[in-house]
A and B are shown apart, each in its own frame.
Chain A
Amino acid sequence: MTPLRIRRPGRLAAEAVTLLVAAAVAFPLYWMVLSAFKPAGEIQSTDPRPWTLSPSLDSFRRVFEQQEFGRYFLNSLIVAGTVVLASALIAFLAATAVTRFRFKFRTTLLIMFLVAQMVPVEALTIPLFFLMRDAGQLNTLGSLILPHIAFSLPFAIWMLRGFVKAVPEALEEQAQVDGASRTRFLWQILFPLVFPGLVATSVFSFISTWNDFLFAKSFIISDTSQSTLPMALLVFFKPDENDWGGIMAGSTVMTVPVLVFFVLVQRRLVSGLGGAVKD
């Protein structure tokens, strides 16, 4: 498949470099998982070894016992799941509107969706904090869900546009001839066709929501039962002595779901991105 047929030694060298880079890129994740399984004595050792002969679950146990990590995990899952579902549906409708219709202000809207992507979400923490306070939403998962739906939308709409555009208009005309209503066409024909794009888009909303640290830190101020994973992780940072075993075990618990999600949709993600970028 390589477009360039180059001399063999050159290719072997390139392949060796590629494997080395791959190992280097994977190393931090390897070290994270390894450290999570190391017994305490080996973590707090000034002679760190890249393996362990006595793996232990102590760090994981500590994480789940000291902290209500299970609960935080569930909270993170609820927040990310709701955001993914809601933003996918809303973005699908909006993307259909801006690609399948010609109407006044269409281009203006598209540009506004693009501009909205650039808004530094972090800067909006201050007004959102007051908005959530006035709406009585502080310390609830809703205070995390609502803003994240809003922040996932512009990118999701922009990206889905390419997928909706790719569905031939003849299909829509055919559906009309066959007597399908617009609603029926939307949900029974267009939706399944655009589904791969929705998955690719969802990865981005899932990750940005799952990773969110600033809103969780700012809006969940006193009720720790509503905390999400990032906040729970920071508890293991102590001014004098960081509990590295706990931090690494917590990080592992937080990273694995995203990795699984990524691997599952990896193929669709790469092709989807290509489509969105080239479009």
Chain B
Amino acid sequence: MTTQLIEKRPDATAPPAPRPPRRGGPRGHRPWTPWLYLLPALVVLGGLLVYPVYQLGLISFLEYTQAQVSGGEPTSFKGFGNYTTLFADPQFWQVLLATVLFAAACVVTTLAVGCALAVLLTRVRALPRFALMVAALGAWATPAITGSTVWVFLFDADFGPVNKLLGLGDFSWTYGKYSAFALVLFEVVWCSFPFVMVTVYAGIKAIPSEVLEAAALDGASQWRIWRSVMAPMLRPILVVVTIQSIIWDFKLFTQIYVMTNGGGIAGQNLVLNVYAYQKAFASSQYSLGSAIGVVMLLILLAVTLIYLRLLRRQGEEL
């Protein structure tokens, strides 16, 4: 009995030997411990993210309208039928194009404004910097829906201060396609530039000041310093904020829905997300809505893969 015990615990007989990790240290833990920690997350994500994604794909291959939802007719498999219908619809291509162009405009404007203000922040003293930071945090914190209502009110044809200030009379911003998109763009840039500004500012602060001073002493202009010194050093951060912006702006829903009243006059301001919603919940064409959702999912997946590649190339360890 005793010999057996001793044989099983060689460390007891050889105290100076390296102590094997008790109760599972960072290395040599019981193999199921991390999975135990991951369990709640995996259950929630599996049930409410992975399974719905699977369902989304499934519905997009079915005939699924009000009749099937209420149980009046059996669901039937349609194969790629929904996708054929969708791709044959000129409105889909129009909405897709509008979504891509509008998201691109939002991303470019947001990044330009955010980066310019981040550079500006490094050139001023504490008080003005604090003022801009506080204002930006306010815009950032504002819920999309209240931000939308406020901006619509600011640009209201009858009672808004903007038209008054610009002398535009009773010009309606939401009536025309492009002015309505412009109005939404203002709101989107207003609430998303703070993330870019704060992040890029933090990145600039992390650049050793000697580098920037040396560039300034060499007589480099502010633009030149940004382009040749800051931007290359900030590359990893710029990649993150760019990708995040693309993902956010491609998925816009609330702003378009609220500001253009569900997609604008005759759907002129529809973007994919709102389009899918209208198809599914306004016209009960759940399978078409799901097909649009799948298209969005695939596009965003492609963006993610590019992101991962860029991260890999930067040698980031996961």
**Contacting pair A18 B120 (CB below 8 A):** yes
One of B2-10, B33-41, B77-85, B87-95 at the interface: B33-41
Q: B170-206 vs A: 1/0 string, CB under 8 Å?
A: 0000000000000000000010000000110011111
Distance in angstroms from A36 CB to nearest chain B CB is 10
**Contacting pair B199 A111 (CB below 8 A):** no
**Contacting pair B293 A273 (CB below 8 A):** no
Task: Determine whether A118 belongs to the interface, using a CB cutoff of 8 Å to chain B.
Answer: yes
Q: Which of A84-120 contact B (CB under 8 A)?
A: 89-91, 93-94, 96-98, 100-103, 106-107, 109-111, 114-120
Chain A residues near B22: list those with CB within 8 A: 176
**Contacting pair A2 B318 (CB below 8 A):** no
Question: What is the chain B residue whose CB lies nearest that of A123?
Answer: B293
A35 to B153, CA, bound (A): 10
Chain B residues near A181: list those with CB within 8 A: 23
Question: What is the chain B residue whose CB lies nearest that of A258?
Answer: B141
Chain B residues near A266: list those with CB within 8 A: 137
**Contacting pair B49 A119 (CB below 8 A):** yes
A169 to B297, CA, bound (A): 38
Question: How many residues of chain B are within 8 Å of chain A by beta carbon?
Answer: 108
**Contacting pair B35 A1 (CB below 8 A):** no
Task: Determine whether A235 belongs to the interface, using a CB cutoff of 8 Å to chain B.
Answer: no
Chain A residues near B236: list those with CB within 8 A: 277-278
A21 with B159, Cβ < 8 A, contacts A118-B304, A213-B254, A262-B141 known: no
**Contacting pair B128 A3 (CB below 8 A):** no
Instruction: Please count the residue pairs between chain A and chain B whose beta carbons lie under 8 angstroms apart in the complex.
Output: 311
**Contacting pair A31 B203 (CB below 8 A):** no
A45 with B209, Cβ < 8 A, contacts A22-B131, A176-B22, A248-B153 known: no
Task: Determine whether A68 belongs to the interface, using a CB cutoff of 8 Å to chain B.
Answer: no
Distance in angstroms from A157 CB to nearest chain B CB is 7
**Contacting pair A262 B140 (CB below 8 A):** yes
Partner of B52, one of A128, A207, A213, A230: A128
Task: Determine whether A77 belongs to the interface, using a CB cutoff of 8 Å to chain B.
Answer: no
Task: Determine whether B17 belongs to the interface, using a CB cutoff of 8 Å to chain A.
Answer: no
A120 with B293, Cβ < 8 A, contacts A26-B135, A111-B308, A262-B137 known: yes
Question: What is the chain B residue whose CB lies nearest that of A152?
Answer: B44
Query: Could you jot down 12 A-B contacts, CB within 8 Å?
Result: A102-B26, A120-B273, A122-B253, A125-B280, A131-B48, A176-B25, A218-B281, A248-B153, A262-B138, A266-B137, A270-B198, A277-B203
Known: A98-B34, A122-B277, A270-B202. 14 other contacts (CB 8 A): A2-B123, A19-B131, A31-B154, A93-B37, A121-B251, A122-B293, A123-B276, A123-B294, A126-B290, A131-B51, A149-B48, A182-B24, A213-B144, A255-B141
Counting from the closest, the 6 A-B pairs by CB-CB distance are: A123-B293, A127-B55, A150-B48, A3-B209, A97-B37, A251-B146
